[in-house]
Amino acid sequence: MSSRLAARERRAAWQFLAPCMAALTLVALWPLGRTLYFSLTDATLDDPANFDLIGLQNYIDIATDPDWWNAVGNTLFFTAVSVAIETVFGLGVALLLNTAIPGRGVLRAAILIPWSIPVVVSAKIWQWMLHDQFGILNRILIDLGLVEHGIAWVAEPGLVMWVVIFVDVWITTPFMVLLILAGLQMIPAEIHEAALVDGVPWWKRFWSITLPMLRPAIGVAVLFRALDAVRMFDLSYILAGNGVRTMTISIYARNQLFGVQEVGLGSAASTWVFFLVGIVAVIIIATVRIDKRSAG
Amino acid sequence: MASVALRSVRKSFGPVDVIRGIDLDVADGEFVAIVGPSGCGKSTLLRMIAGLTDLTAGDVSIDGVSMLDVPASKRGIAIVFQSYALYPHMTAGRNIGFALETAGIAKAAIREKVTRIAAMLKIDHLLDRRPRELSGGQRQRVAIGRALVREPKVFLFDEPLSNLDADLRTEMRVEIARLHDELKATMIYVTHDQVEATTLADRIVILKDGHVEQIGTPKELYCRPANRFVAGFIGSPRMNFASVGSGGLALPIGSEPVAAIGVRPEAVVVQPRPGDLSARGRLVRVEDLGHEQLLYVALESGAANALPWTVRLAAGQPVPPPNEPVALGWSPAAMHRFDAEGRRIGGAAS
């Protein structure tokens, strides 16, 4: 290719990229820069025009706040447990849907319903179903004679985190199913048949063939879900409000910004959230080596 | 080693009959090729022998034992797929030895066996590579190694060379022939390539639309094709056909109800003037292949489907000028005769 042709193609590439980059600058880069800048100030919400630069003081304040570390713990616990359960369930359902069972098409569509409902609506539905006096779950448990009084699912300190995890699993397992099912369908049937003819038992076929070949698909699914889970806000906030047991780092950042009205502190907390999401992403990508294709 | 027998084998997918009653006996140690155009059901037939596809009716037996209730893994067969179906995340060595891992064989024994088989297939230097780091031919060798390691009674090949380029295909063809000589194993080989079938097989099964057109040695199929389909399918370039009688060639063919005749390209000669058995036409194209020349002649009348006739001419032979009328001739012994249904008439042609 001549250098003039190459230059023309480069110019065309930039022209195509320009609108996208302008939009990203406007909606992502600029707010991010603002947040970073405010995190170094003592700005407040009632008078945001009047502030001083105070260096890294906000970051230090947050790092020494036990509430912050409680929120970090909650978030990491929620992420690890919910994503783990969703992966196992998702894999199980995907394997089931990948076999030729009757009514598979209907099942595949039906399973998407929880995923298609807005999280706020799902959370509200579950809140009602789990209500200590009027909830259907307690009704069933009482009618079955398993409990005498309704259980206050979201008010019980030992239970509330598990309720949040349960609802999250209910909502997002379909997402896992879809991604893993797509991965399963990429595996050529002849590979399974070769193993079948070779007399490889089913557990060995699953463990040594299906699972390794699914690794990229599972890796991507876990990455997406984990990044979502680390910045989870709505589910906890609706089910348990500002409860200390379920406070995530996003709720913490929101509280600093709007509750305490400290723009500087809130921005610093948001930046911490940003870093944490980044760290989790790096760890997952490094562990599952998504970039290295295992199925090639 | 084992014999394989199919009895009235049928397969339907819903309303579609893919295999319409096939009987076949493969002797112990025999190499049988199943050939046919795409969609004729040859791969389905192989998969039914392997136990990967259920039969709708009929029976498959290996060594006289019905296999209907025997799972694929217990049939004593190994299959080599067109796509190779290698495990992409395992090294070539592990691919070959994988089937033995669960058979309760010691690691050292597996390793030794894999190495021995790899040496036989000349891939012992590639055992640590993944399939994606291997060429098509090397992958094919690994797939064959994976079949060999289990010492099956019957080898099944499903178009194993179709994904290779021409040079490699010839090389692997020789390799498979050598393996068959060494192992004396029963092999059933599915292909759409009649050259592979004729060069490799002891006997060939010609399949069309789910039923057998003819079973025989390559020589039998070439010299005495049972019908026009087989005559046209075996041999390259393909046989020349012409209709006779009204609208076709006027030939002295006796009293039999001959509707068409066929003459192989090498049996046709260009004549200075028409004789008893001859056809007139116009030379439309000459292909010089170096070792021989192919002449394409559009007949004046009777060329079935209006396909030009092919004439094989030795290299250096004089070629008539293009677009000039030519007369083609052949001997009575070289003429295959077919009735209105395309069935062979009589025993001529050698």
Residues of chain A found within 8 Å of residue B97, distances taken between Cβ atoms: none
For residue B266, count other CB atoms closer than 10 A to its CB.
Answer: 15
CB-CB under 8 Å, B88 with A213 = yes
> Residues 111..170 of B with a Cβ closer than 8 Å to A: which?
130-132, 146, 150
Any A CB within 8 A of B77 CB: yes
Any B CB within 8 A of A54 CB: no
Rounded CA-CA distance B291/A146 in Å is: 92
Strands (E) across chain A are located at none
CB-CB under 8 Å, A200 with B79 = no
CA dihedral of A228, A230, A231, A234, whole degrees rounded to 10: 80
Q: Is the pLDDT assigned to residue B88 strictly greater than 70?
A: yes
For residue B124, count other CB atoms closer than 10 A to its CB.
Answer: 16
Any B CB within 8 A of A211 CB: no
Residues of chain A found within 8 Å of residue B90, distances taken between Cβ atoms: 208
Q: Is the dihedral of CA A92, A93, A96, A99 positive or negative?
A: negative
Any B CB within 8 A of A204 CB: yes
Nearest Cβ partner of A197 from B73, B87, B102? B73
CB-CB under 8 Å, B72 with A196 = yes
CB-CB under 8 Å, A197 with B51 = yes
| Six-digit token string for B81 | 């797929």
Query: Distance from A283 to chain B by nearest Cα, in Å?
Result: 23
Task: Tell me which chain B residue has its CA closest to the CA of residue A199.
Answer: B73
> Counting Cβ atoms within 10 Å, is residue A207 exposed (0-12), middle (13-18) or buried (19+)?
exposed
CB-CB under 8 Å, B73 with A196 = yes
Task: Tell me which chain A residue has its CA closest to the CA of residue B156.
Answer: A197
Any A CB within 8 A of B331 CB: no
Residues of chain A found within 8 Å of residue B78, distances taken between Cβ atoms: 197-198
Query: Which residues, listed in sequence order, are joined to residue A41 by a DSSP beta bridge?
Result: A53
Residues of chain A found within 8 Å of residue B89, distances taken between Cβ atoms: 212-213, 294-295
Q: Tell how far CA A271 is from the center of its chain.
A: 18
φ, ψ of residue B337 in degrees (nearest 5): -120, 140
pLDDT band at B305 (very low <50, low <70, confident <90, very high): low
Q: pTM (2 decimals)?
A: 0.82
Any B CB within 8 A of A201 CB: yes
CB-CB under 8 Å, A213 with B89 = yes
Average per-residue pLDDT in chain B?
Answer: 90
| Six-digit token string for B296 | 């394409």
Nearest Cβ partner of A295 from B88, B103, B150? B88
b/e burial code for range B20-59 (CB count within 10 A of at least 16 → b): ebbebebeeebbbbbbbeeebbbbbbbbbbbbbbebeebe
Nearest Cβ partner of B99 from A199, A213, A294? A199
Q: Is the pLDDT assigned to residue B302 strictly greater than 90?
A: no
pLDDT band at B348 (very low <50, low <70, confident <90, very high): very low
Rounded CA-CA distance B269/B278 in Å is: 9
Q: In what order do the strands lie in the sheet with B16-26?
A: B16-26, B4-13, B57-62, B65-66
pLDDT at position A290, please? 60
**Quick one: chain B helix, strand, coil %, rounded to 5?**
30, 30, 40
Task: Tell me which chain A residue has its CA closest to the CA of residue B72.
Answer: A197
Rounded CA-CA distance B119/B126 in Å is: 10
φ, ψ of residue B154 in degrees (nearest 5): -135, 130
Any B CB within 8 A of A186 CB: no
In chain A the first and final C-alpha atoms are separated, in Å, by 30
Query: Which residues, listed in sequence order, are joined to residue B77 by a DSSP beta bridge?
Result: B154
Cβ-based contacts under 8 A for chains A and B: 67
pLDDT at position A47, please? 80
In which element (H, E) is residue B33 found?
A: strand B31-35
Rounded CA-CA distance B118/B105 in Å is: 18
Task: Tell me which chain B residue has its CA closest to the CA of residue A210.
Answer: B87
Rounded CA-CA distance A242/A255 in Å is: 9
Question: Does this complex have an ipTM over 0.85?
Answer: no
CB-CB under 8 Å, A204 with B102 = yes
Any B CB within 8 A of A196 CB: yes
Whether the Cβ atoms of residue B181 and residue B30 lie closer than 8 Å to each other: no
Rounded CA-CA distance A141/A120 in Å is: 26
Any B CB within 8 A of A194 CB: yes
pLDDT at position A294, please? 45
State pLDDT tens for residues A113-153.
898 899 999 999 999 998 888 888 888 988 888 888 888 88
pLDDT at position A1, please? 56
pLDDT at position A10, please? 93
Any A CB within 8 A of B103 CB: yes
Q: Tell how far CA B116 is from the center of its chain.
A: 30
Residue in B203, B264, B267, B205 with CA at minimum distance from that of residue B235: B264
CB-CB under 8 Å, A196 with B98 = no
In chain B the first and final C-alpha atoms are separated, in Å, by 35
pLDDT at position A161, please? 93
pLDDT in tens, chain A (296 residues): 578 899 999 999 999 999 999 999 999 999 999 999 999 998 888 887 888 888 889 999 999 999 999 999 999 999 999 999 999 999 999 998 888 778 888 888 888 889 889 999 999 999 999 888 888 888 898 888 888 888 888 878 888 999 999 999 999 999 999 999 999 999 999 999 999 999 889 999 999 999 999 998 999 999 999 999 999 999 999 988 888 888 999 999 999 888 888 888 899 999 999 999 999 999 988 887 665 554 43
R_g (Cα) of chain B, nearest Å: 24
Task: Tell me which chain A residue has its CA closest to the CA of residue B152.
Answer: A198
State pLDDT tens for residues B175-224.
999 999 999 999 999 999 999 999 999 999 999 999 999 999 999 999 99
Query: Distance from B99 to chain A by nearest Cα, in Å?
Result: 5
Q: Tell how far CA B101 is from the center of its chain.
A: 35
Query: Distance from A288 to chain B by nearest Cα, in Å?
Result: 14
Task: Tell me which chain B residue has its CA closest to the CA of residue A293.
Answer: B89
Least confident of B138-142, B261-265, B274-278: B274-278
